[in-house]
Structures are given as C-alpha cells and as structure tokens.
Structure 1
Amino acid sequence: MSRWFKQIAALLIFTLALGACSRVGLAYRNLDVIIPWTLGDYVDMNGEQKDWFNERLKGHLSWHCTTQLPGYLDWLDRLQAMVERNQITDAALQERTAEAKQAIAETAREITPSAIELLQGLDDKQVAEMNDAFAKDLRKRQQEYLKPPLAQQIKERGERMEKRLNDWLGPLSDTQKQRVAAWSNALGDQNTQWIANRAHWQQQFSAAVAQRQSPQFPQRIETLLVNREQLWTADYRKAYANTEAQARALFVDLMAESTPQQRERLLKKIEGVRKDFNDLKCLKAAHKS
C-alpha cells in the first residue's frame, strides 16, 4: 500500500491515537495523514497538472475540514472518556477502530474521482516514473524491515513502540516494557506479510494505470483506494487480523497497568490534538456559518 495510508494503514488504535495524532498540525496541512492524497510523491507533475492538483486539493481539504473533522472531534471525545473512566476494553477499542475505518473510507471515496482524473491524464513517461518510485519505495522498506534478522526486527519494532508510548504516556514501568516486548514478539515475521502485500498492491495499481483509458479503470481505482482490503493477499489478511488483536490486547494491558500520572499525560495529549483541530481556520469558519 502506498503512503496514502501510511499512518493509519494498520488501523491499530495505537497508530490512530498515539501515532497519527502526534503530527496533526503538519499532517493536516500536507494531507499526509488525514487525507490519503500524496500521489505527488510518486509522480512528477507538469505545471498544468500541478495547478489543477492544487485547486482540487483545496476543495478536498475544505470538504474534509467542514464535514469530517467534527466527527473526529467526537471520536476523540469517546477516546478521552474511555481513558478518564479507565475503562479500556477490547470491545470498546474494536468500536473505535471500526469508526476510524469508516472515516478513512469516506475520505478515500471523496477523493477517488480526482485521483482517477489525474491518473488518466498521465503520459507514459510519468507512469514509468511512478513505477520507478514504487520500486524504490519497496526496496527501501525491504532494506529497513526485512533485511535485518527476525530477532532484530522484533527488537526494533518493540523499541519503536516504546518510544511512541513514552511520548504519550511518559516513562513505562518494567512490567509495561515487558508487555511491549511480548507484543512485538507475538507479531513475529509480520513485516514479511506487510511488505509482500504492499508489493502486491503496487503491482495491481501499476497494472490498472497501464490501462488508464479503459472503461474499467475508474472502478478498478476505486477498489484499490476505497475497498483495498478486497485485494489483500491471504497471508496478509491473517497477519492483519492478528496485528489488530495484538494491538488491542497491548493497549488494554498497558492501561490496566497505567499510573494516574500516565493517564493524565495521555489525556493532555488528546486535548492537544483536539486543540490542533479546533484551531484550524476552516473549522472555525464552519462553526460560524
């Protein structure tokens, strides 16, 4: 899968609450996290295409800010209430994750017509450059996530999660650190399935773009962007289900072991995300109208 869904691809509650949100300001301005619309990272657009792209981008951002952000604030309210009551359960996390998936799908569906129009206007040189960028992206991720021995992959995954958690909860206790290590170990060679599925998605995307003037092209792109789970490999489908379950179990256990100070820090972080959203000019304009 491309960077369009980089921060929320796994759709784990940690990625949503502890990962994507920590970059709300920059992410929202660049549409890197909130709106899956960074085709410009893979295609060198000409001047006319850039002008068209920027105009569409403004429209999508305005739509997203006025129609979708209020729902994000409600989502944060529900997350905050869970933390305040210290009632973090697997069932509640499944609800929050389902809500996040629905929000992502709505945004992807909204921007898909623009993606189709842009892709149909690419020339052969631009398509070749896009495919080269996909290949470069894949090689980089294989080098970073697959080349190290499995034990090192597990160790580094745990370290990345611990670093993220330190930002949102503060220093972890020894028991919490051990739980993070157990979580990473339980995911095993998940990197293999993730990278393989990424390659699978890129191959299908490239094949679709090669036939961008065909009558089937719009439907194909919509499937790739909105209903991408339909195209997952069987191995990744299993790995993804395990990843979600392991993340929920981790969050439940960490919060059960959390201190009042850690929960207070998390609540302040969530409140900071809310402030980032509320400070956006487009949201303020929507409230006034």
Structure 2
Amino acid sequence: MQQLSRMIMQRHKWQKTLLVSALLLTLTACTAKLMYRNLDWAVLEFIEDYVSLDGDQEEILELQLKQFTEWHKTEELPRYEAQLQSLYDADLSLIDEEFLIEQHQMFRTHIKRLANEITPELYSLSRSMSKEQIDEFLQNLTEQHEEYSEKYSQTSERETRTRYKERIEKNLRRWLGTLSIEQKNIAYEWSSSIERTHQDWGLYRIETRDRIKTMFARRDDPFFYQKELTTLINNPEQGYSNELTGKLERNRALANQSILAIISTASAEQKQHFKEEIKDWLELVQELQSD
C-alpha cells in the first residue's frame, strides 16, 4: 500500500504494494513474501511519508491494520489462489480475449473489495487529522502532482515509446522467458500504438486534488464528507474524463490483441516457463495462508 494520498489519487498503485495479485506484476516471490508479512509496518511507513501521525493515531491505525491483514489473509488470499489455479490450468493455445477480459475483471474485483474494506479505517484516520495535518497532506499532494507533471513534460515521444517497449518486453520475459524475433516485433507494434495518457492523468490529479480540498473544507458536513471520501476511494473512475476513459479502453483492447498474438507464437518452452512462474506464485499464496 502507498500513502493515503495515493490511495485516493492512484488506488491501483497503492494496492500494487498491498495485493499479492498485484505483486505478481512487479516483484519476486521472495520480495512479495517479505512485504506481505510486514504489511502493517509498510502501510504505516507509507502513510507517514505524506502526513505525520501522532502517537494515538499510530496506535489506532496499527490495530486496524492488524485486523485488516487478518481479513486479507483469510478472505482474499483464497480468492487469489483460485485465480492463480485457473491460470495454471489454462492451455495457452486456447486462451482467447474472453479469458483475458475475465481475468482482468477478477483482478479489478479484488481491488474493489480491498478498497471497500479499508475505507472505514481511512475515513476514521482522516476525521482525526488536525488542521496542521490536513495542510501537510494537501501540500504533499501538490508536490506529488508537480513532480508528476515535471517528469512527463520532459519526456519526449521517442523516450516514452522506448519506455513502453522496454516495460512490455520485461514483463513478457518474466512470464515467457526468452522472446523470439516475431514476439519482439509484436511488442514493438504494441508499444508504438499505445495512446499516451499522461496529460489526462495530470488533469485527473488536479481535479481530484481540488475535490479533496473541498472535502476537507466541508468536514463539518459529515454526510458530504463521508460520501465524497467513499467515492474517491471506491469509485475513482467517476472522476475520469471521457477522453481518459476512451484511451484506457482502447489501450486495454490493444493489450489484449497483442497478448493473444504473442501467445499464439509461444513455444513449448515458453508455455512451460509460464506454468512454472504461476506455480511459484500459487505456492507462495498457499504458504502465506498457512502462516
């Protein structure tokens, strides 16, 4: 998990640290295990990167996080295990777009359940924040936005496409092993066709930051405050512009088509590599449940 601000403004990144299913995309099994077993400490550290908590807030949050991690272990890990098992059992030669859409939707459902479960704790924490803490939090939001804008404003089109290609190939090698020339060509075409969204995300960040400012300014209206915070955490898509929504949908369709094209060329060795990678994560999730 990442900071309270990232939970509100970039929930997918915040949960990338929390969820084992999201960790599949970025970490080794050993690293994921370490992160998961120290989840309460990691969350507290991330939150305090954006707002300094007092002793009482830390104590209450630590207790809530222990309850949350127990819920996650008993309720969510079995769901991840079931999804991983379906991936392990899948015949890559028979995977179609419907299967990819189903897997993506299952992942989104995991995220939504997690957000719904953590919302009361975030609401309680935010309501206990002093004016000084709110000012600190909002200042950090502003700085985060400025850093994001500066980073992407200095990135050329060519640099962006190169970064897309490198990221795609890195993920493919993770799951398939060594790539063929044909697969690298498909990855290149994929990276060349992705619609850039950094400007759309920048506008979304500004609008969300303004909504958060308004939310804090109206803390005396508990109905509005709770409804707005709940919406920001559980349904951030409501704040997406039509342009951003359209780009995300087209990029997802492009990803599905590209993945299917790459899978259709997978060798026997690559299919075995995929199974072994999934097996590692399946065994990790089973081990975490038995701890």
Q: TM-score, normalised by structure 1?
A: 0.85
In structure 1, what is the equivalent of residue 176 of structure 2? 169
Residue 244 of structure 2 aligns to which amino acid in structure 1?
A: Y
Q: How many residues align?
A: 276
In the alignment, structure 1 residue 276 sits paired with structure 2 residue 284: yes
Who is 1:220 aligned against?
228
Distance 1:41 1:58, change over 3 A: same
Could you list the per-position Cα deviations for residues 132-188 of structure 1 after superposition, in whole angstroms to 9, with x for gaps in the alignment? 222222233233334211121111121122122222221211211121121122113
Per the alignment, do residues 218 and 149 of structure 1 end up closer, same or farther by CA in structure 2, a change over 3 Å counting? same
The answer (yes or no) to whether the contact 2:164–2:191 under 8 Å persists in 1 is yes
Does 2:90 align with 1:120? no
What CA distance in whole angstroms lies between the structure 1 residues aligned with 2:147 and 2:67?
33
Match runs of 1:134-283 below 5 Å: 134-215=141-222, 216-280=224-288, 283=289
Q: CA deviation at 1:202?
A: 3.2
- Take 2:155 and 2:263, find their aligned partners in 1: how far apart are those partners? 31
Q: 3-state DSSP class of the match of 2:51?
A: coil
Q: Which is worse superposed, 130-139 or 104-113?
A: 130-139
Aligned residue type for 1:223: T
Q: How does 1:7-156 map to 2 (within 5 A)?
A: 18-19=25-26, 24-29=32-37, 31=39, 39-82=47-90, 84-156=91-163
Q: Distance in 2 between matches of 1:8 and 1:244?
A: 19
- Gap regions ≥5 residues in structure 1: none
How far the C-alpha of 1:87 sits from its partner, in A, is 1.9
Question: 1:7 touches 1:19 (CA, 8 Å); kept in 2?
Answer: no
**Aligned-residue CA RMSD (Å):** 2.7
Structure 1 residues 181, 232: CA separation in 2 closer, same or farther (over 3 Å shift)?
A: same
TM-score by length of 2: 0.85
| SS of equivalent to 1:92 | helix
Q: Does the 8 Å contact 1:193/1:236 carry over to 2?
A: yes
Contact 1:193 1:239 in 2 (8 A): no
TM-fit CA distance, 1:110:
0.9
CA pair 3-233 structure 1, distance change in 2 beyond 3 A: closer
* Structure 1 residue 190: Cα displacement: 2.3
Say if 1:202 and 1:262 are closer, same or farther in 2 by CA, change over 3 A.
farther
